[in-house]
Structure 1
Amino acid sequence: MSEAATELFEDVDLPAVRSALLDWYREDHRAFPWRETTDPYEILVSEVMSQQTQLGRVVDAWEDFLDRWPTTADLAAADRGEVVAFWSDHSLGYNNRAKYLHEAAEQIETEYDGTFPETPEELRELMGVGPYTANAVASFAFDNGNAVVDTNVKRVLYRAFSCPDDDDAFEQASSELMPSGESRDWNNAIMELGGVACGQKPACDEQSCPWREHCDAYHSGDFTAPDVPEQPEFEGSRRQFRGRIVRALGEHDALALDELGPRIRVDYTPNGDHGREWLRDVLAGLADDGLVELETRDDETVARLRR
């Protein structure tokens, strides 16, 4: 581990962080057909199509493309003009991607005897395949990639672990986080986290983010990020008060409701709209997420952080 990564993760339980993310992803994630295959050609097509194109729009185009050209041999034998026309007809963006994909298929057939190279370094020799795409194909097809670093991943690392906004720092942090031999599931999982739970507008509780317990932004309430220069609106939100509760309980061994309430909002009144019942409801959500423990002492509800 580099010195910078050592400092970044000094107080982080890395095995717990890794297990939490992988379990979350394997339990439930968005269903895209290219996640159900390890065919490198099918994955390459999905990666090229997905560049600056919403994934929901890619599904039909990806299926139609593979129906028409199911192998690299079929694509290499196709007329390039037909491939470019397909790209344009399906509104997939820059047509030169279609040209490069066709040329890459020709390379596979003529230079590699129809067999895909398996490492990121070798895959970069294909036309139009840059570092990110090469690593994605190596990861998802061969489970042989490096840690992916894209905009979503940077946002996650910046928020969760206060990673500096620096490309080298993001690379080092990503590499240290990824468990050995898990590039397929790990890279899918961390990109899924950034796509559904840690987007520009975070949905931490709604998507049951597995890193809430470990996340600096979740505890502080500051969800700015390199691609989110302005603070997302959260003043007065449930997420804000959850963060305040976690901080307050982190400073005290245990607090009863009427001790905790005034520490997290100035308008707390035991029997008011934002009183005990409101606070019990927020605490119940934190307890369901495994962050807080609740117990009854002398007919009082007492909360503490789960150890």
Structure 2
Amino acid sequence: MTDHLPDDRDAVREALVAWYEADHRDFPWRRTDDAYRILVSEVMSQQTQLSRVEEAYADFLDTWPTVEALAAADRGDVVSFWSGHSLGYNNRAKYLHEAATQVVEAYDGAFPTDPDELQELMGVGPYTANAVASFAFDNGDAVVDTNVKRVLHRAFGVPDDDAAFAAAASDLMPAGESRVWNNAIMELGGVACGQSPRCDEAGCPWRRWCRAYETGDFTAPDVPEQPSFEGSRRQMRGKVVRALGNHDALALDALGPRIRVDYSPDGDGEGSRAWLRDLVGDLADDGLVAVEERDGETVASLRR
């Protein structure tokens, strides 16, 4: 499945690593091999702009500098932080908090070093486990994300197929060098081979082998479009979490206007009490919100 790769793989590897080590973006999580800090950065970076992640990452670690500190935190505080920094799905905050608790209670504060064992942590899937194993312990497999797929497809004509991408990425990665290699190939996709390629401007190290550079055809693998965030249920869930993070508890009719300016208790459409009750119920099912009846009213609060 890797016949499309160049024969001189060593030259390909050496060119990319030399390019990366000569100059690359200086993110704070690239200056550490602390597994906790790397896990925080990986979870934050999921579908979130890196410019926004940098500020949130620093604030998060100021608040919870160690895995022990995060495990001891109130989950509601962690979820409220996540929502307040617009980091996307609030379940990620919940899972990160639970993963920290697992590391402290099951592993005595020391992260597993193997990708398979890292997947035992709550919310840690194959990609994140491999990234932590690579960047913290230099013990991972080849990372395959959207950037890597785009680079392999354009440079070497790897077909738009997950198995083909995984095989090609694994074949190319130098044995025992997952930390530098995975950083380098993702940097290539993020800096030189983005949706709008900057081959010459960024000094792409693979131009001599690249089919796209030779032919001018920079077609990239299809990437599913993210649904619009504005007005989405995901946005409304985030607003609920932020509002509850600023109050100990709120009755639905006090919470509603904080979520939508057109909130009306009557009816059963969007913006109604029934709609809000369903929204809060989803968050309760996810373990993010507590709901109780008080004096004939439904009252919601962040779960601590």
Matches within 5 A, 1:33-112: 33-112=28-107
Instruction: Give the Cα–Cα distance (whole angstroms) in 1 for the partners of residues 73 and 149 of structure 2.
Output: 38
Shift of residue 225, structure 1, vs aligned partner: 1.2
Q: 2:23 pairs with 28, 51, 57, which one?
A: 28
2:36 equivalent to 1:8? no
Moved over 3 A (4+): none
Instruction: Give the Cα–Cα distance (whole angstroms) in 1 for the partners of residues 7 and 87 of structure 2.
Output: 41
Matches within 5 A, 1:228-243: none
Aligned-partner SS, 1:212: coil
2:188 equivalent to 1:193? yes
Matches within 5 A, 1:103-142: 103-142=98-137
Instruction: Give the Cα–Cα distance (whole angstroms) in 1 for the partners of residues 60 and 220 of structure 2.
Output: 36
Answer yes or no: is the 8 Å Cα contact 1:200–1:227 preserved in 2.
no
Instruction: Give the Cα–Cα distance (whole angstroms) in 2 for the partners of residues 228 and 85 of structure 1.
Output: 31
Q: TM-score, normalised by structure 1?
A: 0.72
Answer yes or no: is the 8 Å Cα contact 1:25–1:189 preserved in 2.
yes
Greater relative contact order, per chain length (Cα 8 Å cut-off, separation 6+): 2
2:147 equivalent to 1:176? no
Instruction: Give the Cα–Cα distance (whole angstroms) in 2 for the partners of residues 217 and 128 of structure 1.
Output: 37
Aligned-partner SS, 2:191: helix
Change (3 A) 1:16 1:129: same
Change (3 A) 1:89 1:117: same
Shift of residue 228, structure 1, vs aligned partner: 7.4
Instruction: Give the Cα–Cα distance (whole angstroms) in 2 for the partners of residues 119 and 50 of structure 1.
Output: 21
For these two proteins, the number of residue pairs brought into alignment is 224
* Residue 247 of structure 2: aligned partner: none
Q: 1:157 pairs with 131, 135, 152, which one?
A: 152
- 1:130-159 deviations in Å (ceiling 9; x for gaps): 110000000000000000001110000000
Answer yes or no: is the 8 Å Cα contact 1:198–1:204 preserved in 2.
yes
Shift of residue 227, structure 1, vs aligned partner: 3.1
Instruction: Give the Cα–Cα distance (whole angstroms) in 1 for the partners of residues 195 and 39 of structure 2.
Output: 27
Instruction: Give the Cα–Cα distance (whole angstroms) in 2 for the partners of residues 151 and 98 of structure 1.
Output: 23
Q: TM-score, normalised by structure 2?
A: 0.73
* Residue 142 of structure 2: aligned partner: 147
Unpaired segments of 5 or more residues in structure 2? 225-304
Instruction: Give the Cα–Cα distance (whole angstroms) in 1 for the partners of residues 90 and 81 of structure 2.
Output: 9
Aligned-partner SS, 2:221: coil
